[in-house]
Amino acid sequence: MVLDSHTVKVLKFGGTSVGSIERIQNVAQIVKRRFENEGPLCVVASAMSGETDRLVGLYKTLSEDTQTFEYDLLVASGEQASVALLATALNAIGVKSRALLGYQAGFVTNTERGRAKIQHMDTSHISQICSEGFVPVVAGFQGADDKGYITTLGRGGSDTSAVALAAALKADLCDIYTDVSGVYTADPRICPNAKRIEHMSFEEMMELASLGAKVLHPRSVEIAAKYNTVVRVLNTFEASKGNTMGTTVGPINDLFESPVVTALTTDKNLALFTLRDLQESENVLDRLFTRLSQEGVIVDIIVHSAVHDGGRYTLSFSTPKDDIRLVEKSLNSLDLKASQVDTDLVKVSLVGTGMRSHSGVAARVFQILSQNKIKIVCTTTSEIKISCVVPASQAETALRTLHDEFIP
């Protein structure tokens, strides 16, 4: 039988959803119901909650370098266990199932250890399994490079595995089952007044995810937008009670209202480096940022003061905390030294396509932060977002007050 891949759906279950044997059995019941009612399915699962953290912790007792073959091999093992358990739970309730590692499901990646990118997908094996009436249960977060070495896609990467599989299979949709009932106007665990968003455009979700809302991995949204794969975010625990309300992330629909601010988020994964007294003639900007890009460091904010008398200036830039070691290596190689490295900061961001047609949003943000005596370390804006870096101790207050002001 040849499988008509358009009829396949991809269902992904996150760590909390598969966090215990009882929860795995609950997921197996959801899969069984959907398989019986809707036909062929592919399942993607994360490691049981806390397991990847535990493995990373073990690794870091021996080395801080997470860009190694062994890091990938170790941290990928969390998903190996959870998919084997989930497929066993499915078989036990009469749903024929087969557990697969990422490479067995056709995920071919580049060789960037600890943060590999998917380069190619060969879905022939998975399509074969589906057409034989089995439900494949695929280990998220992992693949293999062209030499067969196991790679991982970066923390939170199982969402990216699921959306990439859905795109490659030209699946009808990709359902991301998690521990909240959709995408909210802010993290509902920090902001008690946050509301569930019914529909979101790829563009807004991409911005929100890359600014720190971990409900979807940023690269999963990028892939969804590129291949026009509609993603639904659903609550595993509500779904088992028959509630399927969630958030649909899809193409822009003219019927969507565009509020000025659709959602807010925070990002704690930030280190701010400051270099003072740089000499204009030393050409630091060019040399340093070339070096950082060669090392694969992701630079976010860059603040460059005006050149003062004597040709001296100050430079600040932010990177994810994981890249601190690589930044220090790059600075050393150029005989430079940061006068300050701040790691106790949080970026608070507001996102909304409505900002395109509204002026004065930044002014309101500054007013609210100043009324609440929140210090702004630096700010960046784009067409549809405003971000302010604030001290970590003030970040949750900043998020809640900005949320309640912009999303009444």
218 binds Mg ion (CB under 5 A): no
Judged by CB under 6 A, the chain residues 241 through 280 that form the site for ligand ASP are none
CA distances from 95 to 31, 35, 42, 88, 121 (A): 9, 8, 12, 9, 26
The alpha carbon dihedral of 325, 328, 329, 330 has a sign of positive
Residue with tokens 């003030």: 394
Give the amino acid at 270. Answer: L
Residue 213 binds ligand ASP, judged by CB under 6 A: no
Of 153-161, 254-262, 315-323, 344-352, the window that binds ligand ASP (rule: CB under 6 A) is 153-161
**What is the Cα–Cα distance from 142 to 119, expressed in whole angstroms?**
12
Judged by beta carbon, residue 40 or residue 102, the one nearer Mg ion is 102
Tell me: does residue 156 bind Mg ion (CB under 5 A).
yes
- Parallel, antiparallel, or unpaired: how do β-strands 97-100 and 107-109 relate? unpaired
Is there a contact between 146 and 19 (Cβ–Cβ < 8 Å)?
no
Residues forming the site for ligand ADP (CB under 6 A): 14-17, 46, 156, 178-180, 183-184, 186-189, 213-215, 263, 265
Q: Which does 179 bind (CB under 5 to 8 A by kind): ligand ADP, Mg ion, ligand ASP, none?
A: ligand ADP
Question: Under a CB-based contact definition with an 8 Å cutoff, are residues 193 and 404 in contact?
Answer: yes
The site partner of 323 among ligand ADP, Mg ion, ligand ASP, none (C-beta below 5 to 8 Å per kind) is: none
Measured in degrees and rounded to the nearest 5, phi and psi for residue 387 equal -125, 135
> Which of positions 30-59 make contact with ligand ASP (CB under 6 A)?
46-47, 52
Site string for Mg ion, 7-36 (x = CB under 5 A): -------x----------------------
| Contact status: 102 vs ligand ASP (CB under 6 A) | no
Q: What is the nearest approach in angstroms of ligand ADP to the Cβ of residue 210?
A: 12
Q: Which is nearer to ligand ASP, 101 or 350 (CB)?
A: 101
Contact call for residue 155 and ligand ASP (CB under 6 A): yes
The single residue among 19, 102, 136, 157 that binds ligand ASP, judged by CB under 6 A, is 157
Residue 71: contacted member of Mg ion, ligand ADP, ligand ASP, none (CB under 5 to 8 Å, by partner type): none
Q: How many CA atoms lie within 13 A of 60 on its CB side?
A: 9
Which structure tokens are listed for 141? 């977060």
Collect all residues with Cβ–Cβ distance below 8 Å to 369 and sequence separation of at least 6. Answer: 376, 388, 390, 398, 401, 402
* Radius of gyration of the CA atoms of the chain, in A: 23
- Pairwise CA distance, residues 92 & 209, whole Å: 37
The contact mask relative to ligand ASP for 121-140 (x = CB under 6 A, - = no) is -------------------x
Residues engaged in binding ligand ASP (CB under 6 A) = 14-15, 46-47, 52, 78, 140-141, 155-158
